[in-house]
Amino acid sequence: MLFEYAELGKVIRALRREKGLSQEVLSGLAGIARTHLTMIENGTMKATIDTICKIAQALDLRPSELFAMVEERQDKNESLDLIGSYIQTRRFRYGSAGQSFLRFVKLAPDIP
């Protein structure tokens, strides 16, 4: 499995919002520019390991915890891709129950 920087950005954004932090505050705590954080969250810039460590610390996490969250999200996405492939092989049409289910699962919040 390749590391998906876009998933890292989504996880960071979700954690930041969960903690009620603005990009300005989190970037200040991490010692990086707000625009840098914005690009990381949007997946348009790859964060260095040093930057990932700074962001993790600002979120009160160990870098390994942050990486584990990204891997968990990637695993979920891979599972959804498999489900999607199965649905397509069963010739479900767009708008069918199968596609509706897949869209729902992708949009559903993570359940622990």
Would you kindly state where each structural domain of the chain is located, as residue ranges? 5-62, 70-107
Q: Name the architecture of domain 5-62.
A: Orthogonal Bundle (1.10)
- pTM for this model (two decimals): 0.68
Task: Encode pLDDT of 72-90 as tens digits.
Answer: 887 776 655 555 565 555 5
Convert 31-67 to b/e letters by CB count within 10 Å (16 or more is b). Answer: ebeeebbeebbeeebebeeebbbbbbebbebeeeebb
Task: Encode pLDDT of 4-25 as tens digits.
Answer: 788 899 999 999 999 999 999 9
